[in-house]
Amino acid sequence: MRPVDVVDRLLKDRNRTPGTEGRAYAPVNIALCKYWGKRDRALRLPVTSSLSVSLPELGADTTVRPAETADRFILNGHPVPATDPSATRLSRFLDLFRGDPHPHFEVCSVSTVPLAAGLASSASGFAALVLALDAYFAWNLDRRALSILARLGSGSACRSVYDGFVEWHAGERADGMDSFAEPLRRAWPGLCVGWLRISDAPKAVSSREAMERTTSTSPLYRAWPGRVANDLHTLRTAIREGDFETFGRTAESNALAMHATMLDSWPPILYWHPRTVEVLHDIWRARAEGLPCYFTMDAGPNVKLLFERASRPDLCARFPGINVIEPFCIRS
């Protein structure tokens, strides 16, 4: 099955005539148990399930309108050249949805996260785009269908159609219709995610390439699916029981295990900068001194700290420049 067949099946006889405008917002999400490795590259089907938390204040606000002769992308107010790889990727994704009349799209997106720095900007970007397309064509698809469509753009984007804790079920079917995300419906009011910006520079190896290299060359990767099954179970229980120590330890260890499979690949992949290593040692030192904090990292050098509100003043003093988000704090 091809992505276009999945789209045809989900849209059935829904409207392909565009309206005048569709706009939507989607948050970034940080995986606590990582998605690492695909079982189907074209459909972006994962080897394992994964679990994330969305960060409502960081994300993409995207507007879709008809364009005259070709797709036009405007990112944070700046036109993206048609030759830019991100424009090519977006146009290829939009090929799945072209309307009649007005087959071309103008996509304006304002992102509050730096791009390509391992901060899940593509997840919020593709999720916001799918939600904006849903509004543009007035499809009124349910969240499950929207999650599947977002997955076709970027795997982790399927989790960004929800707030809070979100689990992406790997599914078993070849057509991927059972591979979508769902919210856990559990809140953790005092949870904090602190984002330490180490570098915004685009990464040398894309997460897509890193995943492929890992699954095809790392002997350690064979242990990854079993590891994820255990970590998912432990994390779900820790979230249910509000057990922060188990929650933090499991998330940190899962991220390190993912990076271990990258180091075990050939040629090896190491996203960490010297400053990343310094920060990890600082976190371990803070913890040894009694400050309950853990970290997670994605395919990039940046570090995200996990801690509870009671530790916030101490953490902010210890890590100046930290950007703290409380995912479950509703802002008025």
* Closer CB to ligand PMV, 199 or 291, in the complex: 199
Phi, psi values for residue 267, rounded to 5°? -60, 150
- CA–CA dist 115, 206 (Å, integer): 12
Which one of residues 48, 49, 122, 160 is an interface residue with ligand PMV (CB under 6 A)? 122
Tokens (6 digits) for 51: 């679990």
Choose which of 207, 214, 215, 311 interacts with ligand PMV (CB under 6 A).
207
CA distance 100 to 210: 38
Taking residues 230 to 269 in sequence order and writing x for each that binds ligand PMV by CB under 6 A, - otherwise, the string is ----------------------------------------
- CA–CA distances in Å: residue 66 to residues 91, 125, 150, 167: 14, 19, 20, 34
How big is the CA angle at 62 (ends 66 and 104), to the nearest 5 degrees? 20
26: part of which helix (H) or strand (E)?
strand 22-33
Q: Which of 39, 102, 203, 208 binds ligand PMV (CB under 6 A)?
A: 208
Under the binding rule (CB under 6 A), the answer on residue 156 touching ligand PMV is yes
Q: Considering the rule CB under 6 A, would residue 169 count as an interface residue with ligand PMV? A: no
Interacting span for ligand PMV (CB under 6 A) from 10-18, 29-37, 76-84, 195-203 = 29-37
- Cβ-contact 283, 294 below 8 angstroms: yes
Residue (156 or 276) nearer to ligand PMV, CB: 156
Q: How far is the CB of 70 from ligand PMV (least distance, A)?
A: 26
Site string for ligand PMV, 266-305 (x = CB under 6 A): --------------------------------xx------
Which ranges in the chain belong to alpha helices (H)? 3-11, 85-94, 121-136, 143-153, 207-217, 224-241, 244-263, 274-288, 312-318
Q: Could you say whether residue 50 binds ligand PMV (CB under 6 A)?
A: yes
By CB under 6 A, the count of residues binding ligand PMV is 14
Residue 62 in the binding site for ligand PMV (CB under 6 A): no
Of 116, 144, 113, 118, nearest in space to 130 by CA? 144
Return d(Cα 232, Cα 244) in angstroms, integer. Answer: 15
Closest separation in Å from C-beta 21 to ligand PMV: 27
Q: Which two tokens stand for residue 64?
A: 């879709």
Which stretch in 20-28, 83-91, 134-142, 149-157 sits in contact with ligand PMV by CB under 6 A? 149-157
Residue 167 phi/psi, 5° resolution? Answer: -110, 130
Of 208, 16, 187, 190, nearest to 97 (Cα)?
16
Answer for which of 59, 155, 164, 176 binds ligand PMV (CB under 6 A) is 155
Locate 40 and state its tokens. 């189907």
Asked if 35 touches ligand PMV (CB under 6 A), the answer is yes
Residue 160 is a binding residue for ligand PMV (CB under 6 A): no
Q: Please select the residue that binds ligand PMV; options are 154, 160, 215, 311, rule is CB under 6 A.
A: 154
**Minimum distance from CB of 262 to ligand PMV (Å)?**
10
- In the bound state with ligand PMV, the residue whose beta carbon lies nearer, of 156 and 311, is 156
Give burial (CB, 10 Å; 0-12/13-18/19+) of 219.
exposed
**Binding residues for ligand PMV, per CB under 6 A?**
31, 34-35, 50, 120, 122-123, 154-156, 207-208, 298-299
